[in-house]
Structure 1
Amino acid sequence: MDTGSHLVFGASLAGLACLDPSVGGSDSMFHAVLIGTLIGSHAPDFDSIVRFKGPKAYIRHHRGITHSVPALFLWPLLLSLPLAAIFGVLSSWSHLYGWIFTAVCFHVFLDLFNAYGVQCFRPFTAKWFHLDTLSIFDPFLFTMHAGGLLVWILSDVNAGEMFKSLFGVTFVYILLRFIHQRWIVYKVREHFGNTGNCHVIPSLHWFYFQFMVETEQQFKTGYVRYGRIIHKDTYTKGEENPMIQASIHTDGVRAFLHFAQRVHVMCLEHRDGYKVVWSDMRFWHNHKLPFGAEVELDRNLNVISDTLGWNKKSWEAPYV
């Protein structure tokens, strides 16, 4: 999810940690847990530093090794030892480690339910896993937890009990969203004859979705509004040609294929050469294909340039 949401959940976990006697009964331990869960809830996204190396490196590495199985245990270790020493709570180190571990795991858990996906089972597999249930920002979850934090700050409420209830609602909400999304997938597949791959991506609205259905020869895209399926566009799969083959070995396309799952490629001819456009059909929105790689070729099929990334504003759909 987005950085703000992860930080809010990290603070909420510190409130939940007040149920732990070793945390609720010690100011030093509480402060160590608060800082630990705030940092731990964002730690897997420290891989964002690769943005400085450009979008190709970012696509290759974001939500990869820093979200992997070993990282789930390594981040809490790296954070808990210095925090325990700084706050003088080495005797309760295992409790501090446990709460930071929970924050890190909850971060990866939320990313798993996003449409972008996460390589959370590395090193066992480099496959991208995504449950397409939550947008990168969920207004309901953010508002509920932010409101809980505000109540905690402004009153003498029992933080542990309150956040236990809020996290209970959170998991029930995610389960209901998951079931709803799977039902939408079933209805879309049924509408198009139960053939091919189908992806349904949520929006900020509970009852608005966008879908992509892949058949042997086509990609069909559209929206679902309050259960009503609206077919918008059909994209025909192109055939291999020398221009596509010339572009496939560029850094941008290789990074794109490392991540993309439903690939559409087209070749456009212009006066000075060709432009080959690679797109991930999962992220179709409003008659556009905002995520992909573009390769410019001259008439001799030499690569002039290649780019990779999102052709949309961060606040525009799809929210992944």
Structure 2
Amino acid sequence: MDSGTHLVMGIALGGLALADPVVAGSSMTTAAVITATIIGSQAPDVDTVLKLRNNAVYIRHHRGITHSIPAVILWPLLITGVLSLLFQDANVLHLWLWTFLAVFLHVFVDIFNAYGTQALRPLSKKWVALGVINTFDPIIFGLHVIALMLWAFGANPVWTISILYCILIIYYIIRYTLQQAVKHAVKNTIPDAEKIILSPTMRFFQWRIAANSRTNHYVGRAYGRSITIYDKFPIEPLPDTPLFQAALEDSNLAAFLSFSPLYRWEIRELENNFHEVRLIDLRYRSDNRYPFVAVALLNNNYEVVQSYTGWIFSEDKLRKKLIVD
């Protein structure tokens, strides 16, 4: 989920913590726990700072080790250790328990996005992405804001947040059921589809579709069970050529391949004897474009002179990022 949603989730969890008699019975423990649930709900996303380095590092590591099994254990210990020094009369055990729940909830809800997490590390580096909830879901965020406003105006936080969570559980079940119905509709539209990836959008009934058969990539949209296929591309194996192999050794293209499960490739001959190798993620079609790409420019000696991976919404912007003297 986005940072704003994780924030309101952390505050709401702090309200639910007041159901714990130990937390509710001590003002110091209450303050410590609410602080901890807010920090714990944000902590796994500390790897966002990797974007300051470059996109390749960010793509490879965001929602990776910081969302792993060891991290879910270590974050609460670290946060509890620091906060127990600031709130010395707080109950350390209950502080740790609610901090652990905040961190676990962060990783758990991220699994339901299309981006997913490597939550099973170190057991597996596989990305776990259920693709049920958009990264920012206005309904989830809005329900949290309403619940927090009711709490601010005097409603019982325990009952308010408990009702909120019951509604959210029902909402997640509805979203999962809808996703399965859309997958079934895609299968009816593309009978030979072997891999179907659905990406939710902020519109409740609308989904992005990317699918593979043995011979073709398919890209489209779903509105409810109504399926529209926009593009169909033949599946072509990656070329086993010196040019392409040199490009794949570049860190930007390697990061793209570690993240993208469904993509196509292009090779272009440019001016000044440069070659362009482009990898195109098929999951994010928008306004007739595929904005998530990895691009490498190579000279005639098959040396990468410029490369980039990330979101590009116009060729002009891409050319500005790949200026070669």
Same fold? TM cut 0.5 = yes
The residue identity in structure 1 corresponding to 2:25 is: G
The residue identity in structure 2 corresponding to 1:260 is: S
3-state SS of paired residue (1:32): helix
Deviates most, 170-179 or 126-135: 170-179
Deviates most, 80-89 or 107-116: 80-89
Question: For residues 41 and 89 of structure 1, what CA distance do their matches in structure 2 show?
Answer: 23
8 Å contact kept, 1:210–1:285? no
Deviates most, 260-269 or 114-123: 260-269
8 Å contact kept, 1:23–1:29? yes
Once the two structures are superposed, the pairs formed by residues 159-238 of structure 1 within 5 Å of their partners are: 159-238=157-236
3-state SS of paired residue (1:308): strand
The residue identity in structure 2 corresponding to 1:205 is: R
8 Å contact kept, 1:32–1:87? yes
User: Aligned residue for 1:114?
Assistant: 113
User: Aligned residue for 1:150?
Assistant: 149
Q: Give the Å deviation of 1:244.
A: 2.1
Any stretches of 5+ residues in structure 1 without a counterpart? 314-320
Q: Give the Å deviation of 1:96.
A: 0.9
Q: Give the Å deviation of 1:4.
A: 0.6
Question: For residues 276 and 299 of structure 1, what CA distance do their matches in structure 2 show?
Answer: 13
For these two proteins, the number of residue pairs brought into alignment is 311
Identity of aligned residues (%): 33
Q: Give the Å deviation of 1:27.
A: 1.3
The residue identity in structure 2 corresponding to 1:70 is: P
Aligned Cα root-mean-square deviation (Å): 1.5
Q: Which runs of 4+ in 1 moved over 6 A?
A: none
Question: For residues 27 and 125 of structure 1, what CA distance do their matches in structure 2 show?
Answer: 42
Deviates most, 236-245 or 8-17: 236-245
Question: For residues 187 and 21 of structure 1, what CA distance do their matches in structure 2 show?
Answer: 49
8 Å contact kept, 1:237–1:265? no
8 Å contact kept, 2:150–2:160? no
Question: For residues 177 and 201 of structure 2, what CA distance do their matches in structure 1 show?
Answer: 15
8 Å contact kept, 1:276–1:295? yes
Question: For residues 301 and 71 of structure 2, what CA distance do their matches in structure 1 show?
Answer: 46
User: Aligned residue for 2:138?
Assistant: 139
Once the two structures are superposed, the pairs formed by residues 89-108 of structure 1 within 5 Å of their partners are: 89-90=89-90, 92-108=91-107
Q: Give the structure-2-normalised TM-score.
A: 0.92
Question: For residues 82 and 125 of structure 1, what CA distance do their matches in structure 2 show?
Answer: 30
Q: Give the Å deviation of 1:263.
A: 2.5
The residue identity in structure 1 corresponding to 2:252 is: G
Deviations 1:250-271 (A, max 9, x none): 1111111111111311111222
Any stretches of 5+ residues in structure 2 without a counterpart? 315-325
Q: Give the Å deviation of 1:194.
A: 4.0
User: Aligned residue for 1:318?
Assistant: none
Question: For residues 85 and 122 of structure 2, what CA distance do their matches in structure 1 show?
Answer: 31
User: Aligned residue for 1:244?
Assistant: 244
User: Aligned residue for 2:322?
Assistant: none
The residue identity in structure 1 corresponding to 2:52 is: F
User: Aligned residue for 1:316?
Assistant: none
User: Aligned residue for 1:303?
Assistant: 304
Question: For residues 97 and 139 of structure 1, what CA distance do their matches in structure 2 show?
Answer: 30
Deviates most, 243-252 or 66-75: 243-252
